[in-house]
Structure 1
Amino acid sequence: MRVHVVVIATSGNQRFIFASNKRRENVGASHLITRVEERWLDEALLAVTGSEERHRSITGHPVEIVTANAGGITALVREPEIGRELVTRITLQALREAPGLDVCGVVGEAVEWDGLGASALAKLIRQTRGMLPAAQMSRPGPQLRFPGVPIAARCLSSGLPAAQIVQSTSRERPEPRSAPSMAKLNAFPEALDRLADEMGMSGLGKQEAHRRLARVVDWLNNKAEWVAVVHADGNGMGRVFQEFSAIVEKLGHTTAEEYVRHLRDFSQGVDDCAAEALRRVVAAMKKPDGEGRRPFRLIAGEPALLPLVLGGDDLTVVCDGSIALPFAEQYLTEFARLARENKRVGGLLRQAERQGLGACAGVAIVKRHYPFHSAVGLAEELTKEAKAVKGALGQDHCALSFHVLYESAVAELSRLREETTLPDGTRLTAQPYVVGDVTKDPHGWARHRHWNDLLRRIAALTRTDEEDGRRVLSGAQAHDLRGGLFHGRGVADARYRLLADRLGRDADDLAGEGRSLFWKVEGQALTGLLDAMNATGFLPRPERTERTEQEQPA
């Protein structure tokens, strides 16, 4: 028996979702992408095979779905015509229901299935996936599907030629909208069902869940002063998939059938870990603290956040700026713990003597009207910066980087970091910050740049006097310290020592090493003061964190 690998994938997903600053369109667009591996795939399987069953073995069924998540599908088919029909049906559905979404598929070369090994199948899947770029480049992109003519009005959301005049809500004026914008708006009601499930709101009932989520959407669209994009991504997932055949072979599973089963289980396990981590964090953010107070602002009883991308190890969330950093930290912690405990993920990797899975996140906090496609790009760059933790501590560790953008210009992380690097190479930021336990740190990479270190510095900046309630460190004093940073280490440390002599122990938590705001990692001087100042106001006020004896400044 001969089989073919079929790969179907979406591209430009972030652009498709965040091309508009309209939150209803963002929500609808994210839902349209999930239809690729959900409804459209089910309909295509039913039409081609007469059944929606996905996981029946290719030895007795014309199609077997290997993985289906994050807008992508990998399948095995016995006949190339079946593969081409799957691709045709799914891409046609995308054209009809999600104009502007880029979906492409390819059918690989035939291979003899009997006796096929795990490594050979893994190589065939990689080769077929490698055919996608050429197929994508061989036909016009989505933007060319909407040629403008002189008399056509322009969509105020996407800039494409308008298809009709609509009024999204009773508070908005009628305006021209393009076909992609209309498809996203039309998908919004159905998308709320998915959001309710992902955020653990199904028990509220459909009507109440929709009401709450609509309030959250309107808050983020019209009222929130600061809005954030949180992008999280698993560590080393690409390498794990590249070496997955070696992983299963180490366990004694060498056939293609065993490879497919383990790959599907692993992929589904990662999906489940990400989804469960999100639900747990959302539930935790709604709980009152020990004194009955709610540490996070809730809109209609829900945290002001919308998970717009949730598939595989990827998560992209739009949320109120005030909850972005605690959400990111809690999500990374939960994901790493769940991945470690999951038998199909952490258990499999431990059996194969591989490192477990951690994750990294980037948090871009911007003003509400800032172009969201730019905010998403910044969040992705911050995630890449946080990935430095893999090389320093291992892929089973977690870290996050963040930036609060006060300017309106398009932000590139390289420029932002250059602006906080002094001529002598001193960095005025200590990012990324490590989240969770650090098991081994032979070179001291994580020293003073753990999440708890950031919280301790924020506590020092926001601590108040018990008698009069005023801040121990005044705004003017903090501003003076901040200005000193840009004059060099000598000036900054001189100002800090003067302040420490006056405030005593209340200033100790700002120190790096000794009576200095700085410390060195691999010969480069860093400070966490500027990070703490930028994060103040975007984190709940923490309690005082005691230093261990080894951490006490000299």
Structure 2
Amino acid sequence: MYYCYLFEAKSIQDYLFQSNKLKDVIAASERLDRLIDSTKDSVLDQVLKAAELESDLLNRDVNTEHTIHFLRCKGGAFYAYCQQQAPLVSLRSAWTLTLSQLFPSLIYTDALSEAPSLKVALDKAMAGLNAARNTPQVNFPLSSTLIERYSRTGNGVVPLSSLAQRACVKDEFKNDSALDIDTELHRQAYQAFDMRETAALQDRFTPENRQGAIRYPIDFEKEFAFSGPQLKRKHQREAIKDMALIHIDGNGLGILLRQLKSALKDQSDTVYCQAFRDFSEALNKATVAAARIATEQVYQHVIAENDFYEACITLPMRPIVLGGDDVTLFCRADLALDYATTFCCAFKQESERALVDVFKRYLSDSGLFPYITASGGILYHKAGHPFSHSHHLVEALCDKAKVLTKSVYGTQSNKVGPAALAFYRVSNATQSDLSQLLTQAQTFSVGEDQRLTVGQSSYFVEPLSTTEADKVKDGRFLQQLRDLMPQEGSVTPVSMAKWRQMMTAIAQHDLDEAKRIYHRAIELCLDADAIATFKSALQQLVPKDALCHEDWYWQLTGGEDGKMKGYQSFINDVLIVHHFEPALLTNNVKGDTPCSHK
């Protein structure tokens, strides 16, 4: 008989950002990073040792009927099985007790199953896990109306421990006299682990040859460089406090796991376990490698930007999450798009490199691409924007990018779509969802019963291959937006100032004025070659078979009746990308980037 125990932490982003204070976010992310891993420093390993349970977490050669075998132990989740029930029951009891003590309000799901074979037991456990996701849970600890509440989270306050008291003495915490239990535990960790200087999570973002040479800010007001040295005056630097929250998630993980499961259906349980464990380790390796490559890009930019070299440099970015195929971080606004595109391109290459053995051994005849891709969202906002209002929007942007990714091969295909990114600029705190914001901010009435949407938000990271381009009507990618921007030493018929004037006219519901501004700009340009190049770039952004009323907007149709659904353009997208484009640096030597088109 085989027994399976599956565990997954849920709503991690909500948990991380609940206090809306950066140092609590840092402490929570570092603590969660140490929760589940195949290392001796992880909480999972400490629980196994405390419960005196035998496992292959650290030594995969251990194999007895009482050994707990792990198929996955990364990214806030672990899947385990054993040929005896008692070890898994003990693990479940000890693990959930530990979790309730270390992370009291963290939401999680778990399931325990049994079956004559490992594969059937795992299927039953997965079904139980899915059922648990849809089962309402009571969050502990409960707070009655008579309990004082912590103003930032609304949860009941608890007395401060000595460690938390010492952390609260610091300038950044001096106004906090009472905390809820989770925040109190974060403050303890912040003090005990000395997170001002060292942290395990940030080391995984740091290139190996830069360990000790890179620091990350813990205070956005005092340590985060929002602008480069090109702005000399203090009031200029103070005015530009834009930053970005980036969230990137892998594509095609479910497809690959289904194919792997199918390929292993006739294999032994040992091979089955080894294959999934190898896949989990390889995926984590690819994510870490891609994050380090993207961080190196930021490092090189800062070095070139400041034209100096110091033994230790504080980068304008702050790692938040790195687990499995999931990455979340804050980044200086003008560097965010380059970071995200570099990560996506590197992730494709690194996943192919890390998964080569998995494909060679188990998926050689699967017909799958030998890699997976990643898509994500970038939310631009001011430094003071509440974190609690940011993470749900950046996750929605990530979902929007994934919709574009899936448009290439569809949801029923076993092909992984290309990487895509979606971005949006928010100017005020809001609890509205992304679709409402896009409707309110980017859709304008331009005539009787006609509306013009001035942005598409999501774009492919790289140009599509010929095969991929044949499958979609809209193959837009980021470089096409940059092709419309002024280039050094070249003429651009429609300047960014003209695009902004057109945007203002559209916002005032005057489409005719926007057309006049555009045509006047084209008429005033005396360079015929520049006009031809510019219009060619415009055509690249228009979907196939779209009915164009002008070079810069087109008609939308949809539904079974094929009736007109309004107009679409890209003006807001090009304005956002241009606004947050990094300064042109003549001495900037960034090095090679995985994105071939850059």
- SS of residue paired to 1:429: coil
- SS of residue paired to 2:322: strand
Aligned counterpart, 2:133:
133
Q: 1:247 to 1:296 in 2, by over 3 A?
A: farther
What CA distance in whole angstroms lies between the structure 1 residues aligned with 2:72 and 2:143?
32
| Structure 1 segment 297-308 matched on structure 2, within 5 A | 301-308=313-320
What CA distance in whole angstroms lies between the structure 2 residues aligned with 1:197 and 1:318?
16
Aligned counterpart, 2:146:
149
What CA distance in whole angstroms lies between the structure 1 residues aligned with 2:270 and 2:320?
34
What CA distance in whole angstroms lies between the structure 2 residues aligned with 1:444 and 1:488?
32
Residue 479 of structure 1: which of 500, 514, 523 is its match? 500
Residue type of the partner of 2:199? D
In the TM superposition, what whole-angstrom CA distance separates every residue of 1:321-360 from its partner, at most 9, and x where no partner exists?
A: 2322221111111111211233146656564211341111
Matched, 1:385 2:400: yes
- Check the 8 A contact 1:199/1:278 in 2, yes or no: yes
| Structure 1 segment 287-366 matched on structure 2, within 5 A | 287-288=300-301, 292-293=304-305, 301-342=313-354, 343-344=356-357, 351-355=365-369, 356-366=371-381
| More displaced stretch, 352-361 vs 270-279 | 352-361
Aligned counterpart, 1:429:
455
| More displaced stretch, 78-87 vs 358-367 | 78-87
Aligned counterpart, 1:227:
243
Aligned counterpart, 2:115:
111
Which structure 1 segments of 5+ residues have no match? 544-554
- Check the 8 A contact 2:65/2:83 in 1, yes or no: no
Aligned counterpart, 1:552:
none
Aligned counterpart, 1:502:
524
What CA distance in whole angstroms lies between the structure 1 residues aligned with 2:310 and 2:16?
25
Aligned counterpart, 2:106:
101
Aligned counterpart, 2:480:
453
What CA distance in whole angstroms lies between the structure 2 residues aligned with 1:484 and 1:530?
13
| Structure 1 segment 371-450 matched on structure 2, within 5 A | 371-394=386-409, 395-419=416-440, 420-422=442-444, 424=450, 426-439=452-465, 440-447=468-475, 449-450=476-477
Residue type of the partner of 1:284? Q
- SS of residue paired to 2:49: helix
Q: Compute the TM-score of the two structures, normalised by the length of structure 2.
A: 0.77
Q: 1:221 to 1:254 in 2, by over 3 A?
A: same
- Check the 8 A contact 2:55/2:67 in 1, yes or no: no
Aligned counterpart, 2:170:
169
| More displaced stretch, 293-302 vs 329-338 | 293-302
Matched, 1:263 2:284: no
What CA distance in whole angstroms lies between the structure 2 residues aligned with 1:522 and 1:425?
12
Q: 1:436 to 1:205 in 2, by over 3 A?
A: closer
Residue type of the partner of 2:86? E
What CA distance in whole angstroms lies between the structure 2 residues aligned with 1:437 and 1:12?
34
Residue type of the partner of 2:223? W
- Check the 8 A contact 1:49/1:62 in 2, yes or no: no
Residue type of the partner of 2:200? R
Q: 1:16 to 1:218 in 2, by over 3 A?
A: farther
- SS of residue paired to 1:336: helix
Give percent identity, aligned residues only.
Answer: 17
What CA distance in whole angstroms lies between the structure 2 residues aligned with 1:262 and 1:521?
47
What CA distance in whole angstroms lies between the structure 1 residues aligned with 2:221 and 2:96?
30
Residue type of the partner of 1:234? G
- SS of residue paired to 2:483: helix
What CA distance in whole angstroms lies between the structure 2 residues aligned with 1:221 and 1:87?
45
Aligned counterpart, 1:547:
none
| More displaced stretch, 278-287 vs 339-348 | 339-348
- SS of residue paired to 1:6: strand
Aligned counterpart, 2:182:
180
Cα displacement (A) at 1:76: 0.2
- Check the 8 A contact 1:91/1:103 in 2, yes or no: no
What CA distance in whole angstroms lies between the structure 2 residues aligned with 1:271 and 1:307?
16
What CA distance in whole angstroms lies between the structure 2 residues aligned with 1:298 and 1:345?
42
Q: 1:148 to 1:450 in 2, by over 3 A?
A: same
What CA distance in whole angstroms lies between the structure 1 residues aligned with 2:262 and 2:221?
45
Residue type of the partner of 2:105? G
- Check the 8 A contact 1:7/1:105 in 2, yes or no: yes
- Check the 8 A contact 1:362/1:383 in 2, yes or no: yes
Aligned counterpart, 1:238:
254
What CA distance in whole angstroms lies between the structure 1 residues aligned with 2:417 and 2:10?
28
In the TM superposition, what whole-angstrom CA distance separates every residue of 1:486-529 from its partner, at most 9, and x where no partner exists?
A: 44765533421111111355666476239611256877753222
What CA distance in whole angstroms lies between the structure 1 residues aligned with 2:250 and 2:210?
31
What CA distance in whole angstroms lies between the structure 1 residues aligned with 2:272 and 2:131?
22
Matched, 1:537 2:550: no
What CA distance in whole angstroms lies between the structure 2 residues aligned with 1:337 and 1:480?
41
In the TM superposition, what whole-angstrom CA distance separates every residue of 1:172-195 from its partner, at most 9, and x where no partner exists?
A: 533222221121122236364213
- Check the 8 A contact 1:306/1:318 in 2, yes or no: yes
Matched, 1:516 2:551: yes
Matched, 1:158 2:153: yes
| Structure 1 segment 37-48 matched on structure 2, within 5 A | 37-38=36-37, 39-48=42-51
Aligned counterpart, 2:23:
24
What CA distance in whole angstroms lies between the structure 2 residues aligned with 1:16 and 1:386?
24
What CA distance in whole angstroms lies between the structure 1 residues aligned with 2:24 and 2:434?
27
What CA distance in whole angstroms lies between the structure 2 residues aligned with 1:124 and 1:187?
37
In the TM superposition, what whole-angstrom CA distance separates every residue of 1:206-225 from its partner, at most 9, and x where no partner exists?
A: 7x76x654467953599882
- SS of residue paired to 2:368: coil
Q: 1:212 to 1:531 in 2, by over 3 A?
A: closer
- Check the 8 A contact 1:234/1:357 in 2, yes or no: yes
What CA distance in whole angstroms lies between the structure 1 residues aligned with 2:493 and 2:315?
31
- Check the 8 A contact 1:228/1:324 in 2, yes or no: yes
Residue type of the partner of 1:126? M
Aligned counterpart, 1:549:
none
- Check the 8 A contact 1:23/1:218 in 2, yes or no: no
- SS of residue paired to 1:244: helix
Cα displacement (A) at 1:443: 5.0
- Check the 8 A contact 1:362/1:381 in 2, yes or no: yes
Q: 1:364 to 1:345 in 2, by over 3 A?
A: farther
Q: 1:445 to 1:416 in 2, by over 3 A?
A: farther
In the TM superposition, what whole-angstrom CA distance separates every residue of 1:434-458 from its partner, at most 9, and x where no partner exists?
A: 11241121155344x211112223x
Q: Compute the TM-score of the two structures, normalised by the length of structure 1.
A: 0.82
Aligned counterpart, 1:194:
200
In the TM superposition, what whole-angstrom CA distance separates every residue of 1:29-70 from its partner, at most 9, and x where no partner exists?
A: 112223331322102222344556323466544211110112
In the TM superposition, what whole-angstrom CA distance separates every residue of 1:295-337 from its partner, at most 9, and x where no partner exists?
A: 9999962432222221111111122323222211111111112
In the TM superposition, what whole-angstrom CA distance separates every residue of 1:431-482 from its partner, at most 9, and x where no partner exists?
A: 31111241121155344x211112223x23xx57899xxx986675333211
